[in-house]
Structure 1
Amino acid sequence: MDNAMANDLVLQTDFGLGDGAVSAMYGVARMVSGEIKISDLTHEIPPYDIWVASYRLYQTVKYWPAGTVFVSVVDPGVGSTRRSIVCKTTSGHYIITPDNGTLTHIQHYDGIEEIREIDEITSRLPHSEESHTFHGRDIYAYNGARLASGEITFEELGDVTALNSVELLTIDEAKIENNRLTGSIDVLDVRFGSLWTNIPLAFFKQTNITHGDLLQVTIYHKGKKVYQNLLQFAKSFADVNIGEPLVYVNSLVNIGIAVNQDSFSDLYHIGTGIDWKLELRKAKKIIFEEETE
């Protein structure tokens, strides 16, 4: 094998932890090998939300050692004709997932070296042939563990399939036009309700926006304006009062929108994905002068 396996298996699903589904995936992986280290990326992907699953892989994969195997199961088409695939990224990581768009962000921002199609009939947990709705356990966790443990190689998992045959979601690039920055709201910082955009910090440098500047922030849903306000570009949340909105730089060095100690998403009913766009522009400083009689 051209990449040494890291012996790490990282699981992502929309299963939640309310029942035994995730534990069953752990158990199958342990039956394959007691040597692999199993970790969770998250099991709280919103149900059936392939876009968020794709984004969380992009957000996380690069921080694991090369050779790590990721299994991502957000699979609204389970039991249908959608394929099961394994990819090797240009960074040397492996991702096993349904072919339904989950590789969109990894392919777009990081790159994929090769993709192979897994045979769902032969490459599955022994004696699970009659189960058609639990591929997370029977195909993905099982093959992820075999790959992470070195029981099987990437090449042995299936035949090569063309990169351009893989299902991808639409990504709209962030843009600068006449000092207006436009982009999409890709995902939430779920626990805190902040909005993560695809506008890079580099755009602020190109348009001479610096900390302390006031920005006009406009948010659109399907082309309709749903929010507009003047927000400070803050270095940290402490730069603004509690309850006050701000613009900041997130952990991916992209621009985020937040409310100090509250949820921007909940307060203003803002969602994520390609239907949600925003526009930023530098606002003129507002100077309040006392009235003179």
Structure 2
Amino acid sequence: MGKHLVLQTDFGLGDGAVSAMYGVAHMVSDEIIIGDLTHEIPPYDIWSASYRLYQTVKYWPKETVFVSVVDPGVGSARRSIVAKTNSGHYIITPDNGSLTHISHYQGIEEIRSIDEVTSRLPHSEESHTFHGRDIYAYNGARLASGEISFEELGSIVTMDSIERLPLIEATCNEQILEGSIDVLDIRFGSLWTNIPLDFLKTAGVAHGDQLQVTIYHQGKKVYQNIMKFAKSFADVNIGEPLVYVNSLVNIGVAVNQDSFSKLYHIGTGTDWTIQLRKAPKIIFE
């Protein structure tokens, strides 16, 4: 194994929960290298957890083990699972939709169910509310260190039996591009869509062109403007909106040095959709 273990939770760092996960992992092996994806997923936000895995997993070495714990159903009948992705990474997580984006955009080779009774931190049997420590970090460290193999973690489950969140496919019809606003560039408030750059190329849009941007919430138009398709934020003045290519080579919408999300009260998820089209040239005489 690669001996890398990467943790993601909605726990925050205000108490000892994340530190306890680190401690359990190091009790299993001092040789593994632990990293943090984020611990600032909004509480119970499975959608964000799923997207952040999609954003991050492929940039780590093969055989890295990811532990993602956003688990509003902890202690219930929901399964604990481990997935091997097509890219050769491993993800241990509750079966609650956290694998949605990885499964859809990058692919999963195999999934196994972890036995929560037998495969857990010794002497933790009476605790049913901290599976992040007792099952996920513990088994993640065992897998990363090579103490146990992927196959030994549990029995195979069928791909179509896992929980998936609904997704909206991006479309390109008659030079009208449509998709969903999947997530925010949180610190800066930019909108990340699922519309790939290739769609703009197909529509004949080049850097410097003007685009009409329309945003809908549950089908109702809540924002419309014409803005530049910029190569970088510096291509527009401070306070001006722009369309740009984000780090996943999908289309983003932003305001230079301000938060688009806060300014216009725009959210994320399948309730929020966006339409782009090339704007007609306006000539002033």
Same fold (TM over 0.5): yes
Q: Please state how far the C-alpha of 1:156 moved relative to its aligned partner.
A: 0.6
Kindly indicate whether residue 185 of structure 2 is the aligned counterpart of residue 212 of structure 1: no
The alignment status of 1:164 with 2:160, answered yes or no, reads yes
**1:285 offset after TM fit, Å?**
1.2
Unmatched segments (≥5 aa) in structure 2:
none
Moved over 3 A (4+): none
Counterpart selection for 2:113 from 88, 112, 117: 117
Q: 1:282 is aligned with what amino acid?
A: K
The CA deviation at 1:79 is 1.0
Aligned to 1:95: 91
1:144 aligns with 2:140: yes
* Alignment correspondent of 1:16: 12
* Corresponding residue of 2:28: 32
RMSD between aligned residues: 0.5
Which letter does structure 2 place at the counterpart of 1:232? K
SS in 2 for 1:151: coil
Structure 1 residues 106-149: Cα deviation after superposition (integer angstroms, max 9, x where no partner): 10011111100000011000111111110000000000000000
Aligned to 1:7: 3
Question: 2:46 is matched by which residue type in structure 1?
Answer: I
Q: Distance in 1 between matches of 2:283 and 2:129?
A: 62
Alpha-carbon separation, structure 2, partners of 1:286 and 1:27: 62
1:178 equivalent among 169, 174, 177: 174
Per-residue CA distance 1:23-72 (angstroms, 9 max, x = gap): 00000000000000000000011111111100100110000111000000
Is 1:71 the counterpart of 2:50? The answer is no
Aligned counterpart, 1:135: 131
Select the residue among 170, 192, 196 that pairs with 1:196.
192
Query: Matched residues in 2 for 1:230 and 1:187: separation?
Result: 22
Report whether the alignment pairs 1:104 with 2:100. yes
Deviation at 1:244, TM superposition (A): 0.5
Which among 271, 274, 278 is matched to residue 270 of structure 2?
Answer: 274
Could you tell me how far apart the structure 1 residues matched to 2:6 and 2:222 are? 38
C-alpha displacement of 1:179: 1.0
CA distance in 1: counterparts of 2:169 and 2:103, whole angstroms: 14
**Which residue of structure 2 lines up, in the alignment, with residue 260 of structure 1?**
256
1-side partners of 2:173 and 2:158: how far apart? 36
Give 3-state SS (helix, strand or coil) of 1:284's partner. Answer: coil
Instruction: Tell me whether 1:53 sits opposite 2:36 in the alignment.
Output: no
Pairwise CA distance, 1:187: 0.4
Q: Number of residue pairs matched?
A: 285
Cα deviation, residue 76, structure 1: 0.7
Match of 2:217 in 1: 221
The aligned runs of 1:227-238 (5 Å cut-off) are 227-238=223-234
CA distance in 1, matches of 2:9, 2:283: 50
| Matched residue type, 1:84 | S
Determine if the alignment matches structure 1 residue 249 to structure 2 residue 250.
no
Distance in 1 (alpha carbons) for counterparts of 2:231 and 2:110: 40
AA of the residue aligned to 1:263: S
Give the letter aligned to residue 119 of structure 1.
Answer: D
SS at match of 2:134: helix
Match among 58, 62, 86 for residue 58 of structure 2: 62
TM-fit CA distance, 1:287: 1.8
Gapped runs of 5+ residues in structure 1? none
